[in-house]
Amino acid sequence: MSSGWAVFLIWTVWLIVAGYATARRLLETVIPPVPSSGLLDEDDVLKDDPAINSRLIMLLQDLEERHSYRLIVVLERWLIRTAAQDFASSAQLEWLPEGGGLVVVFEWDTGDMGFRRGLNGIEMIDSESEIPSFSLTDIVTTAFRPANEAEAPVVSIERAIT
């Protein structure tokens, strides 16, 4: 093999590896720090309605205080690098690795919603704050069914949390 072909081959392999590494970095979801209030709204989706923002935070904190179950709601205008379901799963693993709660992600522009379903649905649960995954799907579906009939997305979110 001539040195020109060797250089070409090395250059081609380098481009493939560099392209793959860049693509992986672009696809990785960046998870911000866990919101202490239970509501993450970095895109200021609720900036025009601070009263609803306050009510949502109060609902989330009341749920945690009364039932020792942490519900974290993430509002995003749009998700470019990931889907709502994938973002919710990644955030759940990072923010609540021991369980005891649920992360729900709302993508405002599309109306998509995602939450993490555990794979331990048939295992025994250790505390009252744990919900088996086979029940979680039914609970979330039931909560969001009437919420989808609401006129505004923010009303849907508030109804679902309630």
pLDDT digits (tens, 9 = 90+) for 145-157: 655 554 566 777 7
Burial class of residue 88, CB neighbours in 10 A (0-12, 13-18, 19+): buried
Cβ distance 75 to 38 under 8 Å? no
| Statement to judge: residues 14 and 77 lie in one domain | no
Tell whether 64 and 5 lie within a shared domain: no
Q: Tell me: pLDDT of 139 over 90.
A: no
Q: How many domains does the chain have?
A: 2
- In this structure, what DSSP letter does residue 38 have? S
pLDDT, tens only, 45-56 = 888 888 989 999
* Spatial separation of the C-alpha atoms in residues 26 and 23, rounded to whole Å: 5
Same domain for 134 and 106? yes
141 shares its domain with 152 = yes
Q: What is the pLDDT of residues 4-32, one digit of tens each?
A: 677 777 777 766 766 655 444 444 568 99
CATH of residue 38's domain is: 3.10.310.50
Backbone dihedral angles phi then psi of residue 24, each to the nearest 5 degrees: -60, -45
pTM to 2 decimal places? 0.68
What residue numbers bound the domain in which 154 lies? Answer: 32-161
CA distances from 73 to 25, 30, 104, 131 (A): 25, 16, 5, 17
Instruction: Give CA separation, 151 vs 60, 86, 102, in Å.
Output: 22, 27, 25
The answer to whether residues 20 and 56 belong to one domain is no
User: Could you tell me the two tokens for 139?
Assistant: 């609970």
